[in-house]
Amino acid sequence: MKLKQLHRISGIVIAMFLVLHLCNHLFALGGPALHITVMKYFRMVYRFPPVEILLLLCVTIQIVSGLRLVFTNGFRRQPFYVIAQALSGIYLSLFLINHVRAVLLARYEWHIETDFYFASGVAVHYPEKLFFIPYYTLSVLCAFTHIACAHYARRMELASNTAAPDAGARFRKEAWLIFGTGVIATALIMGSLTGLFYPL
């Protein structure tokens, strides 16, 4: 299997988890208690040992293969969407390494719950929030940016044999729609984590 295909497959698995994870965070619009209740149901899926092992394996594959692809292909004379995908991928790699490490340490060494308050605690207290608000904000934006660029690239690749003159424009609109959804989701999630909608 080619490296690019492996990266795509692991990315699809992670994207399925991301849908659950971000939906969970959006439920925080109804308050921390609702977020935690929904989280308990979702954890029955992604904390099921075989699923969790698969997710950790896919994260490892995604980071290693992604960085390999970036530094193999380089940045020079690449289209905008390729550069955006590469830069967002580099940030996500660094974020995932740090975030997964923090969650595992919290669970197995610090013995603290990694629920809503685990994330919001560092987003509402000074000076931690000076780092963690941009850190979390960029992570969600980069995830949607990466998915939008990957979607556009894949659609262009599959349509390369067709003669539809407006295909590229249509695919760009789809990519911008994905990114725009990400901007809205990021604003809502960060509003919840930082106490914008209710006191924390």
Write down the domain spans for the chain: 3-193
C-alpha–C-alpha distance, residues 79 and 71, integer Å: 16
With a cut of 80, say whether residue 141 has pLDDT above it.
yes
| Overall average pLDDT of the 131-155 stretch | 96
Q: Residue 78's pLDDT band (boundaries 50, 70, 90)? A: confident
CA neighbor of 11 nearest in space, from 159, 107, 149: 149
**pLDDT on residue 30:** 96
Q: Which helix (H) or strand (E) holds 148?
A: helix 128-158
| Overall average pLDDT of the 19-35 stretch | 96
**pLDDT on residue 161:** 67
3-state SS class at 7: helix
With a cut of 70, say whether residue 160 has pLDDT above it.
yes
C-alpha–C-alpha distance, residues 142 and 148, integer Å: 10
Question: For a pLDDT cut of 90, what percent of the chain falls above it?
Answer: 83
| Overall average pLDDT of the 10-33 stretch | 96
pTM of the model: 0.93
In this predicted structure, which of 45-49, 58-62, 162-166, 181-185 has the lowest mean pLDDT?
Answer: 162-166
The residue with greater pLDDT, 160 or 130, is: 130
C-alpha–C-alpha distance, residues 77 and 74, integer Å: 9
**What is the average pLDDT score of the chain?**
93
Q: Is 145 exposed, middle or buried (0-12, 13-18, 19+ CB in 10 A)?
A: buried
